[in-house]
Amino acid sequence: MKICLLPGDGIGVEIVDAAVEVLDAAAKKYGFEIEYDKQLIGGCAIDATGVPLPEATIASAKAADAVLLGAVGGPKWDNVAPDIRPEKGLLGIRKALGLYCNLRPMTVSKFTAHLSPLKTERAEGADLLIVRELTGGIYFGEHNEAHLNADGVEEASDVELYTRPEVERIARFAFEAAKKRRGKVTSVDKANVLGSSRMWRKIVAEMQAKDYPEVELNNFYVDNCAMQLVLNPKQFDVILTNNIFGDILSDEASTIAGSIGLLPSASLGDGTGMYEPIHGSAPDIAGQGIANPLATILSVAMMLRYSLNQNEAADAMEAAVDAVMEQGYRTPDLYAEGLKKVSTSEIGHLVAQELLK
């Protein structure tokens, strides 16, 4: 199996190193071979080539069985031209690979429930899946950077646009996922204000009535959803939403689990899938060896399941993460008294050893 590795910037490098050690352990244990092709994306690609997404990176990703990405961006590149920002590299590869569906599962385990900012009994047992549309909406609509308009007033704009086929294909993913889970989809929009949301809500309702009568569907406005997530996260099964609302709600959901360093994701479409933690390059802790690599390791487990057809190895990897948590090892983001504080590479190594047992 060919894996395209895109560590990117900041903690991306450290967490991908840790995840590779765990993937190598899985390959050894379950008898498959991995060939890595490491490529540049984001700020490091700008420094080396002048652009955040070199052609070689796209070619490597397309030729691979799966892509593993760390994170991109950082203060060093905050003032580069908008069209070559590091984040443009990430958006560009999502688009180039046609990755319209981003799955972001959030579960609260008994090992971290007490670290949730929510009361333990509210958080523990929460188990939801955010199905985020990833190649449309305001991220990809027409952008007009700040300029002076005809009246000499400075203005800027970004367009939120969805087509029916874009909504249908992501909604189908959410309904199918719900059928394999607890049979409930909550579609999140802002249909009280936005035309794009009114169309979204109409299409989702039509599809439920026609093709998924067995799936329960409810609709929340995004502001209410943000509130409901912290009020009662256990009410959610599958959350279906657009690109920008999914971005925001997944960071909010992650903290319920105890740390953003725990949330993995899979970006899927018609070709090669890409796997990445939901968090960013964390410039505030980069280079210190203290970032939590478990989100990246759990993203590798999703890769084994969705792209590499190694379900047994995926289950074992998730179980190995749980076992290490059970033994009390924690990176600083999840540390509390009485536990054992370890570094990024140490926890990666512990998970790899557990997997090899």
Q: Taking CB under 6 A as the rule, which mask of x and - marks residues 233-272 in contact with ligand IPM?
A: --------------x-------------------------
Respond yes or no: is residue 9 known to be catalytic.
Answer: no
Closest distance of CB 171 from ligand IPM, Å: 19
- Rounded Cα distance between 96 and 114, Å, is 41
Any known ligand binding at 87?
yes
**H helices within the chain, ranges in order?**
12-30, 43-49, 55-63, 86-96, 120-123, 164-180, 195-211, 222-231, 243-256, 294-306, 311-326, 344-356
Q: Taking CB under 6 A as the rule, which mask of x and - marks residues 275-304 in contact with ligand NAD?
A: -x--xxxxxxx-----xx--x---------
- Rounded Cα distance between 310 and 32, Å, is 9
**H helices within 272-343, ranges in order?**
294-306, 311-326
Closest distance of CB 234 from ligand NAD, Å: 24
**How many CB atoms within 10 Å of residue 257?**
25
Closest distance of CB 170 from Mn ion, Å: 17
Backbone φ and ψ for 219, nearest 5 degrees, come out as -120, 135
- By CB under 6 A, the residues from 66 to 85 that bind ligand IPM are 73
- Rounded Cα distance between 225 and 265, Å, is 20
Q: Taking CB under 6 A as the rule, which mask of x and - marks residues 82-111 in contact with ligand NAD?
A: -----x--x---------------------
For ligand IPM, the closer of residues 170 and 325 by Cβ is: 170
Respond yes or no: is residue 100 known to be catalytic.
Answer: no
Binding of residue 318 to ligand IPM (CB under 6 A): no
Catalytic residue among 251, 306, 322, 333: 251
Largest CA-CA distance found in the chain, in angstroms, rounded: 70
Binding of residue 346 to ligand NAD (CB under 6 A): no
Could you give the 3-state DSSP secondary structure of residue 338?
Answer: coil
Respond yes or no: is residue 237 known to be catalytic.
Answer: no
How many Cα atoms are found within 13 Å in the side-chain-facing hemisphere of 353?
A: 8
Q: Tell me how far the alpha carbon of residue 20 is from its chain's centroid.
A: 18
How many Cα atoms are found within 13 Å in the side-chain-facing hemisphere of 322?
A: 11
Respond yes or no: is residue 322 known to be catalytic.
Answer: no
- Rounded Cα distance between 201 and 278, Å, is 26
Respond yes or no: is residue 333 known to be catalytic.
Answer: no
For Mn ion, the closer of residues 54 and 246 by Cβ is: 246
Any known ligand binding at 288?
yes
For ligand NAD, the closer of residues 137 and 261 by Cβ is: 261
Active-site amino acid positions: 139, 190, 223, 247, 251
Give the binding site for ligand IPM (CB under 6 A): 73, 87, 90-91, 247, 278, 280
Give the binding site for ligand NAD (CB under 6 A): 11, 71-74, 87, 90, 260-261, 276, 279-285, 291-292, 295, 333
